[in-house]
Amino acid sequence: MKILITGVSGMLGYDLWNELKGKHEIYGSDMSEPPAYVSLSEWSKFDITDQQDTYNKISKINPELIIHTAAFSDVDGCEKNPDVAYRVNALGTRNICIACQRFDSALCYISTDYVFSGEDTPEGGYREFDRTDPQGIYGKSKYWGEFYVKHLLNKFYIVRTSWLFGKNRKNFISYVVESVKEKKKVTVVKDQFGIPTYTKDLASAITQLIEKPLYGIFHITNNSSTSRKEVVEEIFKILKKSTGTVFKTRKELFFAPRPRDSTLRNFIWETEGFEPLMPWQEALREFIQSP
């Protein structure tokens, strides 16, 4: 299968590239220069907010599938720059969909737990069928990305995930690990719950999904809900050391609203017979201890 990965320079893009390389004919795109792991013959540089450029560059590749990971994912940045958030996450996704229409390409759109409010979380977490109600600009812009995918395409996967961590970009987990190693205090929110998801595991799951193929909306995360506090405690346990911890509420620590409990239930994933992803604690240990 010929596959294009947008945002290939990011955390998930990196692990998708490593997962799919050798199995499929893959190409990567981003707004920057190609990362070291992508050759020039496999590279296409374009800005997803430019509809014509996006259409032209994708037309040259003519992919059977696009995995769309590119996004403006800085939650506070989205709140401060809503025009940019909607331009990238909503209209940029629309532009990708328009390019898909030409060749009847399938699209795998990476979405987020932030499309839910987090204030009315069902027992066991949100299922794919539950009502969305994003509270901040990031969640709203990603929701409108979902809207364009559902209304412009027939062949699509919408993969909602949460609290991503991986090797190729700084994230909450790497912040805590670095703080411990540098003997700095860790500042953590005390009233936020969800599921950490290892991008390596997510990339493997997406690969299984697209090879079926089974179109629709999927929640894919590592296993079991937790709090940011418990994540920090687990990191201390793995590293066998700790530093002081400062606890703050969401409103004290962040500019943009965050869901209180955005736990996702991987209902359709498991109903379709896929194996659950490993518990987040095991994924966390693998991430921290791997070279």
* 171-191 tens-digit pLDDT: 999 999 999 989 999 999 999
pLDDT, mean of residues 207-214: 93
User: What distance in Å separates the CA atoms of residue 116 and residue 119, rounded to the nearest whole number?
Assistant: 8
Would you say residue 77 lies in a domain? yes
Counting residues of the chain whose pLDDT is more than 70, the rounded percentage is 100
Reading phi first (left if > 0) and then psi (alpha if -120 to 50, else beta), residue 118 is in left
Would you say residue 255 lies in a domain? no
pLDDT value of residue 213? 87
Per-residue pLDDT tens over the stretch 76-86: 999 999 999 99
pLDDT, mean of residues 34-42: 95
pLDDT value of residue 243? 85
> Which domain does 217 fall in, by range?
2-169+195-224+262-278
Would you say residue 67 lies in a domain? yes
pLDDT at 168 over 90: no
Would you say residue 253 lies in a domain? no
- For residue 213, whether the previous peptide bond is cis, meaning omega lies within 30 degrees of 0, is yes
126: confidence class by pLDDT, cuts 50, 70, 90: very high
Number of domains composing the chain: 1
Please report, for the domain that includes residue 201, its CATH number. Answer: 3.40.50.720
Would you say residue 115 lies in a domain? yes
Would you say residue 240 lies in a domain? no
Q: Please state the separation of Cα 63 from the chain's center in Å.
A: 21
233: confidence class by pLDDT, cuts 50, 70, 90: very high
